Amino acid sequence: MKLNVKISFVFFICFLFFTPRSIFAEEVLHKGSQGKMVYNLQEKLKKMGYFTTQPTGYYGSITDHAVRQFQLDTGLSPNGVLDFQTQQKLNGIEMMARVVYGEARGESYEGQVAVAAVIINRLSTPGFPKNIYDVIFQTNAFTAVHDGQYYLTPDSYSYRAVIDALKGWDPTYGSVYYYNPTLATNDWIFTRETVIRIGNHLFAK
């Protein structure tokens, strides 16, 4: 009993501190800004492939250019400012990257993009929530959330897989489900129409 309480407490702490509804303070960062928040932004942009030097904590021309390119790639107005919309987009990518890493880090890069694409496809499919947070934390939606692997730190491939999916790459051809047929225990998933197999996962509608 004490062990179960301890495990529950650990997962609660992980949820409290590592569920990124907001990974940045809700403040506008722009050229001339400096400090820990800028450093964190640069680290994230570096993992996504936009920031090509070492983080410094100073928001200069390199950071401005990186933010503009990120905004262009993700459908935002490229103003070079870390405004509320850009923060929200980064938060969504952080959550998706955690799912990709937790669910598919042993898969090919295409397989990782495919997992990100499923999340995006669910956003526009009736019967699923309409925001990234609720899609990911829908009950029993993703094994990584259930078993705690969601709270691992994603690598750069996970972030870039999400970016590529947001830019329109969908190796699943519109799938909203995926599963490993050798590990799946819910018979219902086998009733879904299989679209494609990528690595160990079958993707389905």
Contact 162, 97 (CB under 8 A): yes
Sign of the alpha-carbon dihedral angle for 67, 87, 92, 146: positive
Contact 201, 111 (CB under 8 A): yes
What kind of fold does domain 30-82 have according to CATH? Muramoyl-pentapeptide Carboxypeptidase; domain 1 (1.10.101)
Query: pLDDT 10s digit of each residue in the chain, 205 long?
Result: 444 444 444 444 454 444 554 445 557 999 999 999 999 999 999 999 999 999 999 999 999 999 999 999 999 999 999 999 999 999 999 999 999 999 999 999 999 999 999 999 999 999 999 999 999 999 999 999 999 999 999 999 999 999 999 999 999 999 999 999 998 888 899 999 999 999 999 999 9
Ranges assigned E (strand) in the chain: 177-179, 194-198, 201-204
Q: What is the DSSP letter of 176?
A: -
> What does the block give as tokens for 48?
């996504």
String of b and e for 163-198 (b: at least 16 CB within 10 Å)?
bbbbeeebbbeebbbbbeeeeeeeeeeeebeebeeb
Reduced to 3 states (helix: H, G, I; strand: E, B; else coil), residue 196 is strand
pLDDT for residue 185: 82
Superfamily the domain 88-172 falls into: Cell wall hydrolase SleB, domain 1 (1.10.10.2520)
pLDDT for residue 184: 87
Long-range pairs for 6-15: beta carbons < 8 A, 24 or more residues apart: 11/148, 14/148, 14/151, 15/151
Strand 201-204 to strand 177-179: parallel, antiparallel, or no bridges (unpaired)?
antiparallel
Domain range list for the chain: 30-82, 88-172
Query: To 5 degrees, how large is the angle CA 77–CA 82–CA 84?
Result: 80
